Copies of this chain bind each other. A is one copy, B any other.
């Protein structure tokens, strides 16, 4: 029995209410590829420092779609014509921009699928979805910056795109780092289009400056927080060890699709050759990685089990900063401690 009562308004503590304005967007959001983003946290392991930072790429993508709708309205109200078709394509494109992200993106990108960037993966997903969804073609052209009216691409991926305007605000909201709150609403009101190029009205100059300052705060206080980096480094090393053991043929608990990526490294060519690879990738998310790590806390390989336990119980590496090279004694001291 098909759903007819499609829920079209979603509560968002950041923007209030997000309305899904057309069927195409609704259907795309319902697709398993998009629903998967519900299980990929926007900020990876940041919640180990900021416990509220559990929001997902699903929620962020909806927020970016919401802002896209507002930006297009502002631009239209200032006299630039935008067709129904273009509106829809822009909304689809921004919805889809994060589709290629894997669990704990950064860690995965350098270990699990080290040969393929998340942009390339997004492209693979879009190519597949375009068979199912007509109307996606224009979205794809905007996404790949191949559409002549260049401002659409700028709204999707540019210096002041809807992606950033959502995630900076959302990350500030969920971490509680209120100083990083960018004035997205005001910036959007200042957007304009000149010769199909996205510009900011002159009186928005200061807002742009303040946006850069808030963004810098977010980088130093959140994205590059030393404890967050320590946790990510730990995660990467856990995955490397697991890959090493898998390559050796060791027994290793892992969810089936995840194991595929532990055992072997794949290139973009592999993905193009074997479509089931993308399907496997589409089945893995934060849950696979973390529940496997949890199981590894009891693995017989002492390195794997120790590192895994450190992450699960939040015994993170500590970072020492120094403007001078560390003295030998200082380093030796650590080596001895570790050896014991």
Where the two chains meet, the residues of A that have a C-beta atom closer than 8 Å to any C-beta of B are 1, 3, 7, 9-14, 16-17, 30, 32, 35, 38-39, 47-48, 50-52, 54-56, 58-59, 62, 173-179, 181, 183, 185-186, 189, 206-207, 209-210, 213-214, 216-217, 220-221, 227, 253, 255-256, 283, 285, 287-288, 290-292, 294-295, 298, 312-314, 318, 334, 337
Contact = CB atoms under 8 A, between A and B. Distances in A.
A26 to B, nearest CB: 13
A183 B189 contact: no
B287 A176 contact: no
B51 A176 contact: no
Contact of A177 (B11, B56, B292, B298): B11
Contacts of A313: 32, 35
A1 B174 contact: no
Contacts of A14: 52, 176
Contacts of A185: 16-17
A289 B209 CA distance: 39
Given A178-B183, A291-B292, 14 more contacts: A11-B52, A11-B175, A12-B52, A13-B176, A16-B176, A30-B314, A38-B47, A51-B56, A178-B181, A179-B183, A256-B298, A287-B287, A288-B294, A290-B291
User: Could you tell me the dominant secondary structure of chain A's interface residues?
Assistant: helix
Nearest to A60: B51
A313 B29 CA distance: 11
Nearest to A227: B7
Contacts of A206: 179, 216-217, 220-221
Nearest to A211: B179
A54 to B, nearest CB: 4
A12 B287 contact: no
B213 A51 contact: no
